[in-house]
């Protein structure tokens, strides 16, 4: 029978490439770990490590390592969630939000909320819009912030704010120096990085440029690092491009009127409906610009 502890043991040993290192990390003796590993390999009927020194994984070992890592993260999350739920008899709000909103009015709203309700516990998770919707449907979150306006069963949806798309480029990039706002054609004549957010723009020109892009960057920090080199440019919603370092410039784009709407999703089956209502009012009234 495979147990969480076996996976944790394997995972740690795989990570450090040594029983000893892993054993101090886990607070067990090397022999205990060795036996756990032996048991796991026995159960699977295959080796997980190439050599007896545990510093090289077999292909199967790599596969199991990947699976185990993700299971462990997930399990630890579960435990935290359960413990949060238990330690919050006075109120708990589970928030799921897209990363860009986490950088806006959300922290202020949470802080105000916690002042007013000293016993309130808050659980906050970043994810993309589709996962926010899923999380609320599955009861993993009570309230969510996502882009687009979704109509889901048992979920209320209000628009929070709208967001214009624009160009992100380095301050030394040619597009930063043109006086009038650049057009899409101007932009696509330079090396263009695609990202998850610009695919929300329903324009064929953007879609084909995204597909033709040689680089797709999935996370904002990388995007900023890449842009800083002045070699690439990208298109983003404005709220994502806040608090930029000096070497970066965000500019409107000539001919783009489409905006991204960001909405508040409210579960109708939350455990603390009153708190949720207070909180949602705070969010709706907050300054999101």
d(CA 13, CA 249): 45
Q: How far is the CB of 54 from DNA (least distance, A)?
A: 4
DSSP 3-state of 161 = strand
Residue ranges of the alpha helices (H) in the chain? 4-16, 19-26, 30-44, 59-86, 99-102, 106-116, 129-137, 174-177, 184-188, 204-212, 220-228, 273-285
Q: Is 200 in the site for its own copies (CB under 8 A)?
A: no
- Asked if 272 and 107 count as a contact pair (C-beta separation under 8 A), the reply is no
Who's near 76: CB < 8 A, 6+ residues apart?
A: none
- 173-232 binders of DNA (CB under 7 A): none
Q: Which of 211, 222, 225, 281 binds its own copies (CB under 8 A)?
A: 211
Q: How far is the CB of 146 from DNA (least distance, A)?
A: 40
Quick one: what does residue 289 bind among its own copies, DNA, none, with the CB cut-off 5 to 8 Å set by partner type?
none
- 10-49 binders of DNA (CB under 7 A): 18-20, 27-32, 34-39
201, 196, 192: which is closest to 233 by C-alpha? 192
> Which one, 177 or 218, has the nearer CB to its own copies?
218
- 106-165 binders of DNA (CB under 7 A): none
Who's near 25: CB < 8 A, 6+ residues apart?
A: 12, 16
Quick one: what does residue 52 bind among its own copies, DNA, none, with the CB cut-off 5 to 8 Å set by partner type?
DNA
- Binding residues with DNA: total (CB under 7 A): 22
Q: Residue 80, Cα to own-chain centre: how many angstroms?
A: 18
d(CA 147, CA 143): 14
Q: Is 287 in the site for its own copies (CB under 8 A)?
A: no
Quick one: what does residue 89 bind among DNA, its own copies, none, with the CB cut-off 5 to 8 Å set by partner type?
its own copies
**188-223 per-residue burial string, b: 16 or more CB within 10 A, e: under 16:** bebebbbbebbebbeeeebeebbeebeeebeebeeb
> Which one, 146 or 249, has the nearer CB to its own copies?
146
> Which one, 1 or 243, has the nearer CB to its own copies?
1
> Which one, 34 or 71, has the nearer CB to its own copies?
71
Q: Is 158 in the site for its own copies (CB under 8 A)?
A: no
* Residue ranges binding its own copies (CB under 8 A): 2-4, 7, 44-46, 59-60, 63-64, 66-68, 70-71, 74-75, 78-79, 81-83, 85-87, 89, 130, 138-139, 149, 151-153, 194, 202, 210-211, 213, 216, 218, 271
Residues contributing to the site for DNA (CB under 7 A): 3, 5, 18-20, 27-32, 34-39, 51-55
């Amino acid at each position: 029978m495979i147990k969480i502890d076996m996976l944790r043991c394997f995972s740690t040993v795989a990570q450090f490439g040594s029983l000893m290192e892993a054993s101090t990390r886990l607070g067990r003796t090397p022999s205990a770990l060795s036996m756990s590993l032996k048991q796991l390999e026995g159960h699977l009927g295959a080796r997980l490590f190439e050599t007896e020194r545990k510093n090289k994984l077999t292909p199967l070992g790599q596969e199991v390592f990947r699976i185990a890592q993700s299971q462990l993260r997930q399990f630890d999350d579960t435990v935290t969630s359960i413990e949060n739920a238990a330690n919050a008899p006075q109120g708990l709000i589970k928030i799921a939000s897209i990363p860009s909103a986490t950088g806006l009015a959300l922290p202020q709203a949470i802080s105000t909320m916690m002042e007013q309700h000293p016993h309130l516990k808050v659980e906050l998770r970043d994810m993309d819009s589709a996962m926010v919707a899923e999380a609320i449907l599955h009861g993993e979150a009570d309230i969510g912030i996502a882009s687009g306006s979704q109509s889901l069963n048992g979920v209320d949806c209000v628009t929070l704010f709208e967001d214009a798309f624009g160009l992100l480029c380095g301050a030394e990039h040619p597009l930063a120096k043109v006086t009038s706002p650049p057009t899409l054609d101007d932009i696509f004549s330079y090396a263009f990085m695609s990202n998850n957010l610009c695919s929300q723009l329903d324009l064929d020109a953007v879609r084909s440029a995204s597909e033709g892009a040689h680089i797709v960057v999935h996370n904002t920090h990388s995007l900023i690092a890449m842009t800083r080199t002045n070699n690439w440019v990208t298109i983003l919603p404005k709220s994502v491009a806040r608090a930029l370092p000096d070497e970066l410039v965000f500019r409107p784009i000539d001919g783009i009127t489409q905006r991204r709407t960001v909405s508040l999703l409210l579960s109708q089956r939350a455990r603390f409906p009153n708190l949720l209502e207070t909180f949602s009012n705070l969010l709706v009234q907050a300054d999101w610009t």
